[in-house]
Structure 1
């Protein structure tokens, strides 16, 4: 049970460091996630700087309030009961801190598509693969997001974090614990706030053509026009999740307004008014039927958080 006094005290203390517009009580997470589902967060904080984020964590910890950190709200499913305590969303942390000799130091709140476009304008190549991945840079590092043969581990050289106690730390590439859709931050209770990317000089026109081609391929094959969290399942060794789901005849499988996309079976989509319960029901039924048909367990790529 969350202490209501602690929530009130948090809001009062935090208002000394950031405008009240950046502190939202009972924030419906359906409005702050790409799946457009999920119950309310007790308090949602939208820090504009690393200092504000660090302060928010320190205040929350002093009041014994749980803390959840989100990037742009993609790759996450918030349950219908919402999230207790303090949610910190980083999509206002948007600043290119420096760009020199192929190294870009960027705040974690930038959307990947904007970073890719900025890199193109600077004549830097290596991150084109990410131009169509939904979400922020911080979330992409957290998940080691990837597509079309590239992933964040190929371009990230340094990461700055804020810890669960509000401390600030910096890690170089060998210490980031990257694996397939994995990083050290999934277990370390640290939150990515700044990322250094190491890119290479390239031809601006060629970089743009590559990004245009990848985006066209995404638009033609993926349900980008519908609410989703991106790819719902991780790729099982030796298989493709979408292919297995399609071969099991599950395109169009639905519960309420949650549905396995008829365009790409690797996506569960919200057709308009799905609940998190609907989405979870579809995910579990897909897992059950694919394992029954193929003996392969599909592990969700989407993070499932909050309470029922």
Structure 2
């Protein structure tokens, strides 16, 4: 690893952290160390990083702001690229915006609403980055990313970069092409509509307030743990099963919203995965419903 670290430092790609606990980079505050964590300063820096890791045949993966992520207690081997402040550019051209994958989606919804542009009101209160929102086709209040995305600049697992339009992203409920063909969104172009600024700001703020009142963001958590098994809702099924408040180790099913698992104190990734398994088993036994996780579970030695 020393040789790779030297190459990355010489390439001046951004901030480089060694054996960095990923608990410091996830909203659950859980996760073992990354051998090397790089926070690139721009997209050109990412190109340099990918070139180096491919030449050195080292495992790598990218993460965003860690809001929909559970990292294994053993951490991640190789190089982790964190898309954050170096990819937070924003350009507004009439009703079209180009935004970096590291830009916080809540901040974007707020900034855009004040510009009198409509289409992102649903994102008021959604945590994480633009890149993560595209990856998951994040949505709420009857809308989602697929309704506004024009195209996305994608970095694939093999190191190739390309622009894909909305149709090519193969969006469906909380799913995109990037979950079948591993990749990350470096930047996105959204098509919005001009509207009444005051009305847009009011709707966005209501959505943000609703999430603040109904979801336990006062505790470390990762957002919704399960996809809704439509026409049912994950939280309603878990609550109906009487599981609110159930705890394994430091991981607890939220008393506020049953589709959230919170870090109630020094939780390990294993506590969370054991609790997820317990929920799946209980819901299957009680309601004959298969629960599918929405949170992305990554890491472990020998894995990416």
- Structures share a fold, TM > 0.5? yes
- In 2, distance between residues paired with 1:129 and 1:101? 20
Aligned pair partner of 1:8 in 2, 21, 31: 2
Aligned residues: 301
Moved more, 61-70 or 95-104: 95-104
Equivalent residues in 2 for 1:80-229, closer than 5 Å: 80-229=73-222
Contact 2:153 2:162 in 1 (8 A): yes
- In 1, distance between residues paired with 2:216 and 2:183? 32
The equivalent residue for 2:242 is: 249
The equivalent residue for 2:11 is: 17
Structure 1 residue 191, shift from structure 2 partner: 2.1
Structure 1 residue 214, shift from structure 2 partner: 1.0
Aligned pair partner of 2:258 in 242, 253, 265: 265
Normalising by structure 2, we get a TM-score of 0.96
In the alignment, structure 1 segments of 5+ residues that lack a partner are 1-6
Partner secondary structure for residue 34 of structure 1: coil
CA displacement 1:266-303 (0-9 Å, x = unmatched):
10110121000111111110111111000001111001
Runs of 4+ in 1 over 4 A off after TM superposition: none
Contact 1:93 1:108 in 2 (8 A): no
Partner secondary structure for residue 10 of structure 2: coil
1:305 aligns with 2:304: no
Structure 1 residue 97, shift from structure 2 partner: 4.4
The equivalent residue for 1:4 is: none
Normalising by structure 1, we get a TM-score of 0.95
**Aligned CA-pair RMSD:** 1.3
Structure 1 residue 19, shift from structure 2 partner: 6.2
In the alignment, structure 2 segments of 5+ residues that lack a partner are none
1:240 aligns with 2:225: no
Structure 1 residue 262, shift from structure 2 partner: 0.5
